[in-house]
Structure 1
Amino acid sequence: MSDLKTRVYDDVKTAMKAGEKERLAMLRMLTAELKQREVVESTELTDAVVQSAVEKMIKQRRDSEAQFRNGNRPELADKEAREIQMLMAYLPQQLTEAEVVALVKQAVGETGAASGKDMGKVMGWLKPKVQGRTDMGKLSGLIKAQLPA
């Protein structure tokens, strides 16, 4: 069993004992996602797969949070934001904005990207270095800003 998966299951037990209902509900959704992936892939999960599941759940919550804020439902948006913060604990240390910008500039330089058509090359260079450590949507926007259309 992966270390990250073990940590998630241990945190479920801790949340249950502490009576943390909101955290427990979020962790149960995460464990359901992990079990689903185990069944689909019919193999033991690695830390990378667990991180991928966490990233997917964070992305879903960011989308929901934005929709709730647009729909004037701040209480639901705040709940989504709290869940995002809880899920972030299962990802590696996040890169700062300055670190991401520096990596994007380095990637553009090393891949020789000259226009928006080369975005795939830049993303391919960056992805293994930043996976799980930054929001890929924001990363895409930073790359587009660096490359002329």
Structure 2
Amino acid sequence: MRDRFAQSLKDALKARDSRKVSTLRLIQAAIKDRDIANRGSGKDHVSDDDITQILAKMIKQREESARIYDEASRFELAEQEREEIAIIKEFLPAQLSEAEVEKACAKVVEETGAHGLRDMGKCMNALKERYPGQMDFAKASNKVKGLLR
């Protein structure tokens, strides 16, 4: 995945796409920060799953910023945030549809033998292992909660 970022950065530099260049540099800086943090705990480089989580977090941050900018009538800044979101999403796996998320949640609840809200963590961990970066886990959590009641 790191190679994809490096190649995309080269392409963006050649194309003089300043928004993409700055976004890719932010992504690389976030990954490098996580690498440095992991060194202190004795881990190696950040895995692709960790990178996916970093990207998902960056998207959430930008969505929140865009919402705040919209509320403050700073539409040009909100648009910049949305452009960055589109660039980051290029590197994430395809998102599951609403129906696919419901099927996945039902399947996990059935496979784990979950019966009540106490088993919520077990179900969510299974979903996070199987579908990293492919669904909004907050929405999936609500669906699992509905199935477990």
Task: Check whether TM > 0.5.
Answer: yes
The reply on whether 1:21 has 2:21 as its aligned counterpart is no
Whole-angstrom distance in 2 between the partners of 1:65 and 1:138: 20
Aligned to 1:37: 34
Aligned to 1:113: 114
Aligned to 1:54: 55
Aligned to 1:136: 137
Whole-angstrom distance in 2 between the partners of 1:67 and 1:138: 21
Q: 1:115 to 1:69 in 2, by over 3 A?
A: farther
Whole-angstrom distance in 2 between the partners of 1:72 and 1:114: 47
CA deviation vs aligned residue, 1:18-64 (integer Å, no higher than 9, x gap): 11011111111111111112222233333223222212211211222
Whole-angstrom distance in 1 between the partners of 2:119 and 2:142: 14
Whole-angstrom distance in 1 between the partners of 2:64 and 2:118: 27
Q: 1:104 to 1:88 in 2, by over 3 A?
A: same
RMSD: 1.9
| More displaced stretch, 9-18 vs 64-73 | 64-73
TM-score (norm 2): 0.85
Q: Post-superposition shift, 1:121?
A: 2.0
Aligned to 1:99: 100
Structure 2 unaligned blocks of 5 or more? none
Structure 1 unaligned blocks of 5 or more? none
